[in-house]
Structure 1
Amino acid sequence: MSLIYQKEIKVTKEHIDQNNHVNNVQYVHWVEEIAVEHWDFVKHKTEYPEDIWMLLDHHIQYKKQVYLGDTIMVKTYPKVPEGAKQPRKVEFYCNDQLVVDSLTLWILIDVETQKIKRLGNDWLEKI
């Protein structure tokens, strides 16, 4: 699996709040969006292409403001599983500086049984 997935986002007017910077809720949306994009990009290489991820826990730290017209580089990668939980980092960079740092915990849901699927600690290495 390509452990690091990244994309650029150009900050537009719809991303800006009344304080004239990227709205904090927008970052939360991007965290989920890039995780889904990354999974869609690699799921066909796994034993779980039909299963779905659900967000369990989310931590985010805002370090610097980003403004209209800025370009953000978003990077995400999974970390070593913690039992049934799959940690994922999402980092936002503007002008090569980390501006937002996020750590989320996800669980994989078996699409047929609707139950949590426990993955082996080495499942990322098998891809």
Structure 2
Amino acid sequence: MDTPFKVKIKIESIDIDNLNHVNNAVYVKWMDNVAREHWAFLTKDNPLEEFIWVVSRHEIDYKNEAFLGDEITAKTWVGNTRGVTSERFIEFYKGTVLLAKSRTVWVLLNATTFKPARIRENILNLLLPAK
């Protein structure tokens, strides 16, 4: 993995379920937010508004609990990208403790037609910069 993009998250009362820890569905919301923040960062100089991303698959492994007031760091990076799909990994940490890790398959769509759009070299270079 190259240096991951990082996002800080402060757990609020709305994130907590009846077991007094972060609800599993909240991680899905965070995964979406982290991916969008990373895409916004990558395209800050060239927004590429003609494209949107949608999820086709989520996989999440929950490892430890997080509680109200905890500060979480989400680390994300892009994996296998070809055709119309791109794989994104996210790991959530409280300090050095891994809380959850995920893999999401995203599909690139044309923002006007909502049809799948091939990931061309300009986007591939943003997602997977040369080493």
Corresponding position of 2:36: 36
Percentage of identical aligned residues:
34
Question: Please, what is the CA RMSD of the aligned residues?
Answer: 2.4
Q: Check whether the contact 1:55–1:107 (CA below 8 A) recurs between aligned residues.
A: yes
Corresponding position of 1:123: 124
User: Which TM-score applies when normalising by structure 1?
Assistant: 0.86
Q: Check whether the contact 1:76–1:90 (CA below 8 A) recurs between aligned residues.
A: yes
CA gap 1:70/1:47 in 2 versus in 1, 3 angstroms: closer
User: Which TM-score applies when normalising by structure 2?
Assistant: 0.84
Number of aligned residue pairs: give it: 126
CA-to-partner distance for each residue in 1:7-43, whole Å, 9 max, x for gaps? 1111121111110101111111000111111111222
1:64 deviates by 0.4
CA gap 1:46/1:118 in 2 versus in 1, 3 angstroms: farther
Unaligned runs of 5+ in 1: none
CA gap 1:117/1:49 in 2 versus in 1, 3 angstroms: same
Q: Check whether the contact 2:82–2:119 (CA below 8 A) recurs between aligned residues.
A: no
1:47 deviates by 8.5
Unaligned runs of 5+ in 2: none
1:57 aligns with 2:57: yes
Tell me how far apart the structure 2 counterparts of residues 54 and 3 of structure 1 sit (CA, whole Å): 24
State the secondary structure of the residue aligned to 2:83: coil
